[in-house]
């Protein structure tokens, strides 16, 4: 028996799942990760807690399994992306808490860069929009706000990293300062065409290049994790690293141009593989997809929906019209259709393709006969409509468009939502067998990096748990979507800047 250990360091928890080479879960452990909100709009993690929680789950999962050392074939990392850390090379001591991807503190810096006319250059090189979401302005903020940090960065005594880099550093006792192409592509300092750090962007963002980790393909030899750390008699090769959404794309066996996945959690993350072409599409990001050593770079288009399952949480926690998320399906099924009600859940603005921080939520189309069932249905339908909003520009960019959508995440348990998604997209929706697509993707990538599998074998072995075919007439689907677009227009720019 051979096992792959997948570390999945997420925004709200650290998890470790041990898979066998068939992709079956053999052991797992999870710990919550504490969130810090020191000011409105700021979100931080404690780097020591990221590492200790991740390590604890790895030790727990491996202890459940009690494997012989030779059976652990590889370790792979999937991680929350963009979150920014800065530490001292000599001691590994962090200079501050990590600035989490959700943190908006650098909105002013982004506005300044936009005013300097930097946006087009940034978009062309990195594939990203100018937004506090990405690491570059967060790192710049740390260098500007921590006493002496910039001088020490220039002297080469500090190291920058995203969460993968921080885990690699700690797994190797400070010997590795590495990242992979998918994580690098989210920093806003990386030229995704040349696949290297970009001197012009570094100058623009005032980031000394001595801070940066070396970038490797996602499936490649990163080094070894010390055995004693993991409670094992010998070290384990680290053969893969990828950002969580790219790992999920891999875990859905979306390896070729035109293949897409959506992960429906709190938000929704939609990625469409574009092969070895870095395509552009209006309102969505171009980003690196997982690639293996010796292959040409791989790319994807990506759109994020900020509020997906969170709209269902809002029905539960703030309106109190459902007791748990699953009840949203039963309640929505009490009405035949949305009764003309549309809920635009722009509760924290709108993401792709609108990128409108001033949009706010609205429920429109109310008449005297509208009831809780219609509101629940409108919330679920909104998840599907927003997915189409993000997917449409992507699908138009690839030849042949979208043949099917592979889906995972907590809200895919909702059959009504999945059926409506197929109806609104007009293509089949394929629900994954495992809810743990991110960890599975990391494990597969780790197996690929260790030479234990191939993409062809993984693609052949992938089967959905269930397939939802479009059933609605094209005319009705188009009419519903048209009304949705009108509702979105009314939600946009609602609060005054």
Of these, 414, 421, 437, 453, which contacts ligand ADP (CB under 6 A)? 414
DSSP 59: H
Please say whether the beta carbons of 278 and 301 come within 8 A.
no
Query: Which one, 287 or 328, has the nearer CB to ligand ADP?
Result: 328
449, two tokens = 């990096």
Q: Give the nearest distance from C-beta 484 to ligand ADP in angstroms.
A: 18
Q: Give the nearest distance from C-beta 37 to ligand ADP in angstroms.
A: 17
Query: Which one, 139 or 248, has the nearer CB to ligand ADP?
Result: 248
Q: Show Cβ contacts of residue 403 under 8 Å, excluding neighbours closer than 6 positions.
A: 258, 259, 427, 428
Q: Give the nearest distance from C-beta 206 to ligand ADP in angstroms.
A: 34
Q: Give the nearest distance from C-beta 196 to ligand ADP in angstroms.
A: 32
Closest C-alpha to 446, from 9, 19, 145, 13: 19
Query: Which one, 21 or 347, has the nearer CB to ligand ADP?
Result: 347
Residue showing tokens 């992938």: 462
On the 0-12 / 13-18 / 19+ scale of CB atoms within 10 A, 208 is middle
Query: Which one, 188 or 386, has the nearer CB to ligand ADP?
Result: 386
| Contacts (CB under 6 A) with ligand ADP, residues 67-96 | none
Of these, 265, 283, 297, 493, which contacts ligand ADP (CB under 6 A)? 265
Binding pattern for the stretch 12-41 against ligand ADP, x by CB under 6 A and - elsewhere = x-----------------------------
Query: Which one, 329 or 381, has the nearer CB to ligand ADP?
Result: 329
Query: Which one, 284 or 312, has the nearer CB to ligand ADP?
Result: 312
Query: Which one, 152 or 377, has the nearer CB to ligand ADP?
Result: 377
Residue at shortest CB range from ligand ADP: 410
What's the rounded Cα separation, in Å, for the pair 176 and 213?
A: 9
Q: Give the nearest distance from C-beta 268 to ligand ADP in angstroms.
A: 9
Closest C-alpha to 43, from 30, 53, 31, 34: 34
Query: Which one, 235 or 304, has the nearer CB to ligand ADP?
Result: 304
Q: Is 413 in the site for ligand ADP (CB under 6 A)?
A: yes
DSSP element (H, E) containing 298: strand 298-305
Helix (H, G, I), strand (E, B) or coil at 106: coil
Q: Give the nearest distance from C-beta 133 to ligand ADP in angstroms.
A: 16
On the 0-12 / 13-18 / 19+ scale of CB atoms within 10 A, 93 is exposed
Please say whether the beta carbons of 423 and 383 come within 8 A.
no
Closest C-alpha to 462, from 425, 392, 390, 408: 408
Q: Give the nearest distance from C-beta 328 to ligand ADP in angstroms.
A: 5
Binding pattern for the stretch 365-404 against ligand ADP, x by CB under 6 A and - elsewhere = ----------------------------------------
Q: Give the nearest distance from C-beta 317 to ligand ADP in angstroms.
A: 10
Query: Which one, 39 or 330, has the nearer CB to ligand ADP?
Result: 330
Query: Which one, 281 or 384, has the nearer CB to ligand ADP?
Result: 384
Q: Show Cβ contacts of residue 31 under 8 Å, excluding neighbours closer than 6 positions.
A: 13, 14, 15, 53, 56, 57
Number of H helices, E strands in the chain: 17, 23
| Contacts (CB under 6 A) with ligand ADP, residues 297-336 | 309-310, 312-313, 325-326, 328-329
Q: Give the nearest distance from C-beta 337 to ligand ADP in angstroms.
A: 18
Strand 85-88 to strand 196-197: parallel, antiparallel, or no bridges (unpaired)?
Answer: unpaired
Q: Give the nearest distance from C-beta 16 to ligand ADP in angstroms.
A: 16
Buried/exposed code over 129-160 (b: 16+ C-beta within 10 A; e: otherwise):
bbbbbbbbbbbbbbbeeeeebbebbeeeebbb
Total residues at interface with ligand ADP (CB under 6 A): 16
Q: Give the nearest distance from C-beta 326 to ligand ADP in angstroms.
A: 4
Q: How many CB atoms lie within 10 A of CB 304?
A: 19
* Bridge partners of residue 299, in order along the sequence: 288
Query: Which one, 145 or 465, has the nearer CB to ligand ADP?
Result: 465
DSSP 39: S
Residues in contact with ligand ADP by CB under 6 A are 12, 265-266, 309-310, 312-313, 325-326, 328-329, 409-411, 413-414
């Amino acid at each position: 028996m051979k096992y792959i250990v997948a570390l999945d360091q997420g925004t709200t928890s650290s998890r470790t799942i041990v898979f066998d080479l068939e992709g079956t879960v053999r052991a797992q452990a999870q710990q919550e990760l504490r969130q810090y909100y020191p000011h409105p709009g700021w979100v931080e993690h404690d780097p020591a807690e990221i590492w200790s929680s991740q390590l604890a789950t790895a030790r727990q999962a491996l202890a459940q399994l009690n494997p012989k050392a030779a059976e652990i074939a590889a370790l792979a990392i999937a991680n929350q992306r963009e979150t920014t850390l800065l530490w001292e090379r000599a001691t590994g001591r962090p200079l501050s808490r990590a600035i989490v991807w959700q943190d908006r503190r650098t909105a002013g810096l982004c506005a300044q860069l936009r005013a300097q006319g930097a946006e087009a250059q940034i978009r062309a090189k990195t594939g990203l929009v100018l937004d506090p979401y990405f690491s570059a302005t967060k790192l710049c903020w740390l260098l500007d706000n921590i006493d002496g940090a910039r001088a020490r960065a220039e002297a080469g005594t500090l190291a920058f990293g995203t969460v993968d880099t921080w885990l690699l550093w700690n797994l190797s006792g400070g010997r590795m300062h590495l990242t992979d192409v998918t994580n690098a592509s989210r920093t806003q300092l990386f030229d995704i065409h040349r696949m290297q750090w970009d001197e012009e962007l570094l100058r623009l963002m005032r980031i000394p290049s001595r801070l940066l980790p070396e970038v490797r393909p996602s499936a490649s030899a990163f080094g070894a994790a010390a055995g004693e750390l993991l409670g094992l008699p010998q070290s384990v090769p680290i053969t893969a690293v990828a950002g969580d959404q790219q790992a999920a794309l891999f875990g859905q066996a979306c390896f070729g141009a035109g293949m897409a996945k959506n992960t429906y959690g709190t938000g929704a993350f939609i990625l469409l593989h574009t092969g070895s072409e870095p395509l552009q599409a209006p309102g969505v990001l171009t980003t690196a997809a997982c690639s293996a050593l010796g292959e040409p770079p791989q790319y994807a288009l990506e759109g994020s929906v900020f509020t997906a399952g969170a709209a269902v949480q809002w029905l539960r926690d703030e309106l109190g019209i459902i007791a748990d998320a699953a009840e949203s399906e039963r309640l929505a099924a009490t009405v035949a259709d949305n009764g003309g009600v549309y809920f635009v859940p722009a509760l924290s603005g709108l993401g792709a393709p609108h990128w409108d921080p001033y949009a706010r939520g609205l429920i429109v189309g109310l008449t005297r006969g509208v009831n809780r069932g219609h509101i629940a249905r409108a919330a679920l339908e909104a998840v599907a409509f927003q997915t189409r909003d993000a997917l449409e520009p992507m699908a138009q960019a690839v030849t042949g468009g979208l043949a099917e959508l592979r889906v995972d995440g907590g809200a895919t348990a909702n059959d009504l939502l999945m059926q409506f998604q197929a109806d609104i997209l007009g293509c089949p929706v394929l629900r994954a067998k495992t809810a743990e697509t991110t960890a599975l993707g990391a494990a597969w990538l780790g197996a690929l990096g260790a030479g234990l599998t191939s993409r062809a074998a993984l693609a052949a072995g992938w089967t959905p748990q269930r397939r939802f075919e479009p059933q609605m007439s094209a005319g009705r689907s188009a009419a519903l979507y048209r009304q949705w677009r009108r509702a979105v227009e009314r939600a946009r720019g609602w609060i005054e800047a």
